Chains A and B, each alone.
Chain A
């Protein structure tokens, strides 16, 4: 019998920097800055190519990078036995000696304009196959296929769905001698396949996804005032949704896609409104002379969380989606804002301000317990991964705007750095696109 490999020391320890090779076309470079002791050791054999010219993008590389970035896995790469492709030629023992608890092996075979990817996951210590899968991947979407394989492997081992196939939107800002350029970017979850949806010399802010992932809403100052736009990701079509006097900001799509919650100051001070996207009708949900902004919907669409300084300093409140039953939720600090509800609806991650600066905190909605997720600094704009496993946020490092990510329990920290300029306001797309 094989002995179970000890985990503890094999895991990444706090503070150790580990560079992950970024895909060639990436705009973001990912660094795991703080990992978990107890990460699961996994080995990924190169997938055998059964055709003529092999595509340059390698599925096994994408899978390794994704698993490592999740912070839950450690990738074994030394002293690996010769690659296997499936149950017929897989022998657990040499993989166990290389320190792997799980092994992924596979093959790729071209078929017309697709590639058939077949792969298997083995639990080395139990000496059993966890599962085998065959998925067709369009030959121009190998990278996407790699994310799909990663989602399957992640779920098979952890029991939670993977979020590697989801995309992230963010704002990138470059400073030039004659001004700045703002870009609305969409990229794969590993920063690859960047796509610039819109560029402007005037500020762009607050990108938020439609629930089906087909469109984004955001704020643009291109007409010398804040204005909310809807932008279709595929066609590039842009529509102005709100251009009233004063502030037009903080758009948030309802989970059923019917409404937009947003903050408008058309009547003198910022209040939360609900816009019916079909008819364009507006309903005012809050009526105060304070700053009322940053609405976000609970996953069931019944509650809207928002920021208000009606008590003198910004705090997080909740109300029914109709505007009724307003209640304050945060009491622990002098500054609490920008709540992001978790996909399971049971907690909020928000920005907490204190003497040392701003950090992310998580409020458990059941028992009202607060957990600090990052050290004080300048964290802002938290956005949950659609599987709830981690939170992306904006921060700065050495004067440069970068993205950070932290696992839901606050234990795994990573940094996503832009190759050019500042990166800010990340928004993780929904899972199904």
Chain B
């Protein structure tokens, strides 16, 4: 409800700005108007060129990001952290991998990472939403301690709603108790 109200307010403000973008100037003479319109056109073109430059820079960034993230031999290729039943401690075996991700995030301040927390199907659904979030936050803490900035990371819990293994045995459950590291590739 709050969001609806907020977006309603934004729409209202944008609407009123648009209405005053073209003030009527009845007292303007033709030469003045020509000069003003030329200046406006030049400003518009400059804005377009600037946008193009930014887009190119972003494209370069993305290529750089993609190269490091897509290297199958890099520790960055590992994006899964598994947990024990009803636990949220990050096990030692994931330290090196998470350090690599933290370094990457520190070196690429524009990079954004989503930590998606999951649980197995045992226990109640709503409680598991809480548990999935705790796991995501535990991974976030490790990344923060190793240099990643807090505003690069978002934690989302899916609880038990998005299993990857559908059988009902310990093997399947172990695969489902996980945090997935998902980079925002701006695609």
Contacts and interface: CB of A to CB of B under 8 A. Distances in A.
Contacts of B159: 205
At the interface, is chain B mostly helix, strand, loop or mixed? mixed
A293 B130 contact: yes
B55 interface: no
Interface string B151-187: 0000111110110001110000000000000000000
A380 B124 CA distance: 6
Interface string B1-22: 1111100000000000000000
Interface in B24-76: none
B101 interface: no
Given A203-B162, A221-B161, A246 B155 contact: yes
B123 A358 contact: yes
Contact of B124 (A241, A381, A396, A399): A381
A270 B136 CA distance: 13
Contacts of B126: 205-206, 249-250, 263, 293-294, 307, 338
A240 interface: yes
B167 A291 contact: no
A378 B121 contact: yes
Contacts of A246: 133, 155, 157
B167 A399 contact: yes
Q: How large is the interface on A (under 10, 10 to 19, 20 to 34, 35 or more residues)?
A: 35 or more
A358 B122 contact: yes
B127 A293 contact: yes
Given A247-B133, A249-B129, A265-B130, A314 B123 contact: yes
Nearest to A314: B127
A399 B167 CA distance: 7
B112 interface: no
A342 B88 CA distance: 34
A27 interface: no
Contacts of B127: 291, 293-294, 307, 309, 314, 337-338
Given A205-B161, A291-B134, 13 more contacts: A205-B126, A249-B126, A291-B130, A293-B126, A314-B127, A335-B123, A338-B127, A351-B123, A378-B121, A380-B124, A396-B168, A399-B166, A399-B167
